[in-house]
Structure 1
Amino acid sequence: MGVRKLSLCLVLMLGAGFPAAARQVEIVKKGNTEIETIVDGSGPAIVILPSTGRDGYEDYDAAAEHLAKAGFKVLRPQPRGVGQSKGPMEGVSLYDFARDTANVIDALGDGRAVVVGHAYGHFIARMVATQYPERVRGVTIAAGAASDTAERNPLVWWAPDYASTPSLSDDMRLAALKGAFFAKGHDATLWLQGWYPQVIKMQSENPVPRTIWWAAGSAPILEVIPEEDPFKPRDRWGELRQQFGDRVTTITIANASHALFPEQPAAVADAIATWANGLPK
């Protein structure tokens, strides 16, 4: 495996009261894949995996900065087809995306990490814990859907398709974004951009049965539930704890919906940091 350093000091001011921190961009090479990974901070590794068909850039900058300030090394591998990430994009599945993530953990995280999956990203996070348990300290499921959302509320389930289709009018796309992704009063126009149709196709064309990855192996789980997320209605908030018992910790985030990270980055980062600090090394 090779790691190529692209930038040593993209220095970023973290806002009022925050020190400056060096942000690096690394390329993790393994076989026929190259995975661009943004690195913030130093310390125990936390991997953040983005939502369906989107990148791991601006949506996660603020949360990554907070986590870096809290003493973590934050790794943001970009999906194949985003930025400088390269690799086969046909005939691939969660098994391949989990392997990409494990390679990043090996190369940049000293072989062990907390893996945070946002929305679709939690599919990959759970698969990493299933396939590579020795590399995973714990899994954070951030804005994960309930197990029956597709059947119970198909309009919500298919909202990403409407939101990500550029041939639709902005009004139609904004209706999907406001209804399914952003809490009232938040700027849903942020997500009119930043979709990657080829990545959506790659992520959806070869589904792996949920029974294989849903349990996230035997890893500790933190579930972060946005209180206004229609993908996880209130009567399903206890679902994972009912299924997996005491290895699940559940917290809710007020004034946030499915987008979550650009809505409440500090609250999400604080929840992850507090929980991660309590995990075995």
Structure 2
Amino acid sequence: MGERARWCHLAIDGSGDLTLPESQRLDYLKQAFVAPGHDPSSWLTGWYPETHDAQAQARNETPVDAYFAGGSVPILDLQAQYGTVVVPNVFKPILGDRVTTAVVPDAGHAIAPEQPEAMSDAIAQFARSVYQIEPWSRFETGERVARTRDLSRVRPRSAQPVKSGGHSPGGAIPAVGDELVAAITRKSPVRHR
């Protein structure tokens, strides 16, 4: 294991180690998860040691070749501008045109809580391109609503979608099938806070 990987594992593991002093955990959280200038204190709680340990064990024992290619479906390589956990730009040179790369600005590995709208927009744009869905319409109220469309025949342009049940390596998100299409195209408004 290289020096960068050792440092990264130490910061990830230290972030969820509830036996460490709060100040040390905050340092680890800043190193591994959040963009510069962002406050990681909300991440001090909500850790489940058994889950954290199981994820660490899976990370340490699963050969990269077992999951790297993500099958044969399109992949979204969602990268954080200040991500330190994942090696950037590793998928496209190896997996080619089925990889779409999107970089979320002003975010660390904790993309969802730091930049939820930018992350959602990148995922929706990717899903629209894979499923050939019309873009969202933005109304004066600020709500996002999908244009009315018969989606019963919408299918991905590529091979059979992979059902994904957990964290994907490197932030890559494979196309996940009809559930994603339904979520993105629901006819009721989705409100962003």
Q: TM-score, normalised by structure 1?
A: 0.44
Could you list the runs of 5+ residues in structure 2 that have no partner in the other structure?
132-154, 156-193
Q: Distance in 1 between matches of 2:125 and 2:62?
A: 32
> Which residue in the other structure is 2:71 paired with?
217
Per-residue displacement from partner, 1:73-117 (whole Å, max 9, x unpaired)? Answer: xxxxxxxxxxxxxxxxxxxxxxxxxxxxxxxxxxxxxxxxxxxxx
- Cα deviation, residue 202, structure 1: 2.6
- Cα deviation, residue 165, structure 1: 0.9
> Which residue in the other structure is 1:170 paired with?
22
- Cα deviation, residue 231, structure 1: 2.0
| Greater helix proportion | 2
> Which residue in the other structure is 1:239 paired with?
90
- Cα deviation, residue 152, structure 1: 4.0
- Cα deviation, residue 187, structure 1: 1.5
Q: Distance in 1 between matches of 2:57 and 2:84?
A: 24
Q: For the Cα contact (< 8 Å) 2:35–2:108, is it kept in 1?
A: yes
Q: Distance in 1 between matches of 2:3 and 2:32?
A: 14
- Cα deviation, residue 273, structure 1: 0.4
Q: Distance in 2 between matches of 1:204 and 1:228?
A: 22
RMSD: 1.5
Find the residue that maps to 1:158 and give its secondary structure.
helix
Q: Distance in 2 between matches of 1:192 and 1:213?
A: 30
Question: Is the alpha carbon distance of 1:218 and 1:273 closer, same or farther for their aligned partners in structure 2, counting shifts above 3 Å?
Answer: same
Q: For the Cα contact (< 8 Å) 2:13–2:56, is it kept in 1?
A: no
Q: For the Cα contact (< 8 Å) 2:83–2:108, is it kept in 1?
A: yes
> Which residue in the other structure is 1:108 paired with?
none
Question: Is the alpha carbon distance of 1:273 and 1:180 closer, same or farther for their aligned partners in structure 2, counting shifts above 3 Å?
Answer: same
Quick check: 1:157 aligned with 2:19? no
Q: 1:197 pairs with 37, 42, 49, which one? A: 49
Q: Report % sequence identity.
A: 36
AA paired with 2:127?
A
Quick check: 1:179 aligned with 2:34? no
AA paired with 1:151?
G
Q: 2:111 pairs with 233, 255, 260, which one? A: 260
Question: Is the alpha carbon distance of 1:215 and 1:226 closer, same or farther for their aligned partners in structure 2, counting shifts above 3 Å?
Answer: same
| Greater strand proportion | 1
Which segment is superposed worse, 173-182 or 206-215?
206-215
Number of residue pairs aligned between Structure 1 and Structure 2? 129
> Which residue in the other structure is 2:84 paired with?
230
AA paired with 1:222?
L
Per-residue displacement from partner, 1:202-260 (whole Å, max 9, x unpaired)? Answer: 3343533221211001110011110111123xxx5322100000000001111110111
AA paired with 1:249?
T
Q: Distance in 2 between matches of 1:161 and 1:208?
A: 17
Q: TM-score, normalised by structure 2?
A: 0.62
AA paired with 1:241?
K
